[in-house]
Amino acid sequence: MSFDLPGFDLDRFVRETLAEDLGEGLAGGGRDVTSESVIPAEARFSGVMDTRDAIRVAGLPVAEAFFRALDPGMTVEILVEEGASVPAGTDLMRLEGNARAMLTAERSALNTVQHLSGIATMVAQYVAAMDNPDCTLLDTRKTIPGMRHLEKYAVRMGGGANHRMGLWDAAMIKDNHVLVAGSVGEAVRRAVEAGVKDIICEVDRIDQIEPALAAGATRLLLDNMEPATLREAVALVAGRVPTEASGGINLDTIRAKAATGVDYVSVGRLTQSAPAADIGLDFTPL
């Protein structure tokens, strides 16, 4: 299965992750001492990766890349589509190849699929709780360093969408920027004068909305507002720019906040603290 994410180098990710686990560059490192000492070099395994939880699937092509990096001739059969919702007990992948390679790659492959499927599963839960086709669920930049592209991919597999990818693709004016600039309007004006195309401005009070719009904000992030205030803000914006609700949003509150008419709801914990899915890999000697 091909796997291509703009800005993400899969081969490098696999190489560096395996190098970390094998202790490359460290005294005595660069090998899997357990597999080398216990498993004959010519031994072969078959394996089945399955889920013990009901999940939204994400990351199987990355797992495949780990196994193929150590045994290019390994037979790998991915059994479910990325983004599929599957019940507990579903087989996700079948493998056949060198036993040492499977054992060495196992933890890196499982860690990745467990983490990404955990994110996708939580996103799907939030989308279902929101129950609003007119509002889009967004992630944030609260990602694990080095994992952003994969975590945001998992958000898409769960049915959500991505906020900005980083500091480069949109300006987001928050309270500390306003503190230095002196006001919301002045902060936005400076971004406009700098030629920034997409300017997201965070506001936490109704009286900040008009100055932000007048200065040229292209989206308003309505921070930590209760539903009644969100409805007032949406009415005041009157469709001039997209609106986004953020802060204090969980499975219990998301539906009410999305129902206020905002275009987006962003939730940091989708990538920041999604629990790993319970996924295992069982081997059989051949």
pLDDT in tens, 160-185: 999 999 999 999 999 999 999 999 99
Token look-up 């001739």 returns 73
Average pLDDT, the chain: 97
Residues 280 and 255 in one domain: no
Percent of the chain at pLDDT exceeding 70: 99
Token representation of residue 223: 């921070």
Minimal CA–CA distance to 137: which of 246, 55, 6? Answer: 246
In a domain, 155, yes or no: yes
- Does the pLDDT at position 275 exceed 80? yes
Those residues whose C-beta lies under 8 Å from the C-beta of residue 6, and which sit 6 or more positions away, are none
* Domain match, 120 and 217 both: no
Asked if residue 61 is part of any domain, the answer here is yes
Asked if pLDDT for residue 154 goes beyond 80, the answer is: yes
pLDDT in tens, 122-150: 999 999 999 999 999 999 999 999 999 99
Please report which residue ranges of 3-98 form alpha helices under DSSP H. 10-22, 33-38, 60-70
Section 59-72 average pLDDT: 98
What is the share, in percent, of the chain residues with pLDDT greater than 90? 98
Amino acid letter at 50?
D
In this structure, is residue 3 part of a structural domain? Answer: no
Show the CA angle centred on residue 47, arms to residues 36 and 61, nearest 5°: 100
Query: Are residues 136 and 261 located together in one domain of the fold?
Result: yes
145, 223: one domain: yes
Write the CATH number for 112: 3.90.1170.20
- Is the pLDDT confidence value at 99 over 60? yes
Tell whether 17 and 116 lie within a shared domain. yes
Domain count, the chain: 2
CATH of the domain at 192: 3.20.20.70
Q: What is the pLDDT of residues 26-42, one digit of tens each?
A: 999 999 999 999 999 99
Q: Which domain holds residue 156?
A: 131-266
Residues 30 and 152 in one domain: no
190-211: per-residue pLDDT in tens?
A: 999 999 999 999 999 999 999 9
Q: What is the pLDDT of residue 231?
A: 98
Residue 76, helix vs strand vs coil = strand
Structure tokens at 64: 């495949």
- Tens-digit pLDDT profile for residues 42-63: 999 999 999 999 999 999 999 9
Is 202 found in the same domain as 107? no
Residue 254 falls inside a structural domain: yes
Coil, strand or helix at 86: strand
pLDDT of residue 58: 98
Statement to judge: residues 35 and 100 lie in one domain: yes
Residue 4: inside a domain: no
**Is-contact 211 184, C-beta < 8 A?**
yes
Q: Which helix (H) or strand (E) holds 264?
A: strand 264-266
Domain identity same for 120 and 21? yes
Nearest-CA neighbor of 263 among 131, 137, 126, 122? 137
Please tell me whether residues 122 and 154 are part of one structural domain. no
- Amino acid sitting at position 205: R
Compute the distance between CA of residue 211 and CA of residue 221 in angstroms, rounded to an integer: 14
Would you give the distance in Å from CA 190 to the centre of its chain? Answer: 31
pLDDT at 1 over 70: no
- Are 153 and 87 within one domain? no
Q: Does any domain span residue 112?
A: yes
Classify residue 95: in a domain, yes or no: yes
Confidence at residue 3, expressed as pLDDT on a 0 to 100 scale: 87
Residue 1 included in any domain? no
Closest CA to 120 of 64, 93, 170, 80: 80
On whether both 57 and 135 belong to a single domain, the answer is: no
For 76-87, write each residue's pLDDT tens digit: 999 999 999 999
Q: How far apart are CA 76 and CA 97, in angstroms?
A: 9
pTM for the model: 0.96
